[in-house]
Structure 1
Amino acid sequence: MLIAQITDIHIGFDPDNPAEYNRKRLDEVLDVLMEGPNRPDLLLATGDITDRGDPASYRRLANAFSRCPFPVWPSVGNHDLRDNFRDHFPGFADENGFIQYSVELPELRLVTIDTLEEGRHGGAFCDRRAAWLDAELAKNADKPSYIVMHHPPVECGIEWMNTHSDEPWVHRFTAVVRRHPQVRGLICGHLHRSVTVAWEGRTVAICSSTAPQVSLDLRPIDEDHPDDRPMIVAEDPAYALHHWNGRELVTFYDHAGAHTMLAKYDERLQPLVRELKAERPV
């Protein structure tokens, strides 16, 4: 089972441009997923799929996804608006209107939750959403499960993008997860960087963005004294591949830019491949 992830697409950042830069970057990643050697079984789009939450951007995004030969499972981030999301991506809301649902796969479950509070950059997770997650996880307590969400509940070290561990929503979310040991890990976005971190005995895999990335700068930042540091950088558009090997989810991070080939599998490398495979148990 191969699960692809894209995040922080930010369609509509340049709304009047039919050749929008963020749309071009998205299409580059989709081309790699569709035409490359690692075509996924499904694609997760983990929030901030639009920049302003406007209907036109959701229409353009739905059009972009329509050419994918695999199912696409979208979710919301702090740049999205639920009403417009539901109008263009129906069928993903729970009974309270939050964008929360489960994907049942043969050997594992993906449980998507909604961490959006409209008007706030950081995450949110209210009692109603927590109750839904608690009940949803209780439905199949023996199946390995991964929670898909936009905001990671961890301090990443990029100070202006941090989530503080004492935020109420983090406590509420953590309390639910602690009751369900079948939750193996979290699949997140939001940071515009590829990050992996241990949290509550689980692995948090955070995918970088298809839109331009947040600069990797771990120095403290002073809101009263701008220092001209880079904030956003245009590295190649990124994606993740989460490979279920039958025991655990193995995450790879890659990008859609050029990959210079330095060696290829030909007769010269065939002995090495044979030797490596022969070392392993049958």
Structure 2
Amino acid sequence: MIIAQMTDIHIGFDREARPEELNRQRCRAVLARLVKQPNTPDMLVLSGDITDRGDAESFARTAELLNDLPFPVHVMVGNHDSRDGLLAAFPHTLRGEDGFLHTAFVQDGLLVVLLDTLEPGRHGGAFCAARRDWLRGVLEANRATPTVIFMHHPPVVSGIEWMDPRPDEAWIVNLAAALDGMDQVQAIHCGHLHRQLAASFCGIPVSVTPSVAPLVSLDLRPISSAVPDARALITTEPPAYALHHWDGTRLVTHYETVGDWQVLAYYGPHLQPMIREMERERG
């Protein structure tokens, strides 16, 4: 099974742009590559910040881009989104009795959990007691099932200070409590940071998929709201997506940037000896 992940599209950031805003152009490019690349996804997870302002028009324009995809799409909410706007554009999205847009399902022997980390009006993450208890209940009921968790906000400190939470924030403490002892969780995949990141949380590998919208600059120096030091904050680095490959035993993640690049080698008869030698080494 292959789970594709795109994140942080931010449709509507410049909705007056003509003929089409940059974020929509970048989204089209990633979707085109996702469909044409050789690894057909079994599903696509959009892990939050689908829109920039949470408005109905931007959600509708995003849904229009996804209409003809040949695989199902699971849409998650980010801090720039709104739950009502998402549900209007993507009515198949499940809303729990507690009001949160979180869900879990098993496919090909893997439990896929999609979390809701939105608190309206807050840039950073949220994970209240109700969400903690929901997640704990899901994991308790599926202790024997390998699990992958998707969430918008990374529960780790990246070092990009203006984007980071404090490590002791209540929502992070609640998430840790839900995950305590749940060793069936193989990975947590996030968005929000607009940069690729690898870390760990509660002994679980945590990865951030780079954004579709322009990326956050890699600058690990301290930053102060009192000193605008002219550092780069946002760049035009290429958009990217992830493919999470589950083979029934192992979960492996690949990332690809999207742009105009050339193929330097094709597999023809001249490269058969190399492939045969690699096969021989593997036995």
Q: TM-score range by the shorter chain?
A: over 0.9
Residue in structure 1 matching 2:243, options 222, 228, 241: 241
Mapped contact 2:59–2:86 kept (Cα < 8 A): yes
Mapped contact 2:110–2:248 kept (Cα < 8 A): no
Match of 1:27 in 2: 28
Residue in structure 1 matching 2:228, options 217, 223, 226: 226
The answer on 1:11 being equivalent to 2:11 is: yes
How many Å separate the matches in 1 of 2:75 and 2:243?
16
TM-score, scaled to structure 1: 0.97
How many Å separate the matches in 2 of 1:44 and 1:237?
16
How many Å separate the matches in 2 of 1:66 and 1:3?
18
- RMSD of aligned residue pairs (Cα, Å): 1.1
Structure 2, unmatched stretches of 5+, are: none
Runs of 4+ in 1 over 6 A off after TM superposition: none
Match of 1:187 in 2: 189
Superposed displacement of residue 186, structure 1: 0.4
Q: Give % identity.
A: 49
The 5 A counterparts of 1:40-119 are 40-90=41-91, 91-119=93-121
Superposed displacement of residue 198, structure 1: 2.1
**Aligned pairs, number:** 281
Q: Deviations over 1:196-219 (max 9, x none)?
A: 112221111110000000001111
Residue in structure 1 matching 2:265, options 251, 263, 266: 263
TM-score, scaled to structure 2: 0.96
Q: Deviations over 1:145-197 (max 9, x none)?
A: 11110001000011111122100100011011114221112010000001111
After alignment, is 176-185 or 156-165 more displaced? 176-185
After alignment, is 194-203 or 145-154 more displaced? 194-203
Match of 1:128 in 2: 130
How many Å separate the matches in 1 of 2:186 and 2:100?
23
Aligned to 1:171, what secondary structure does the other structure show? helix
Return the letter of the residue paired with 1:207: T
Structure 1, unmatched stretches of 5+, are: none
How many Å separate the matches in 1 of 2:159 and 2:222?
9
Aligned to 1:268, what secondary structure does the other structure show? helix
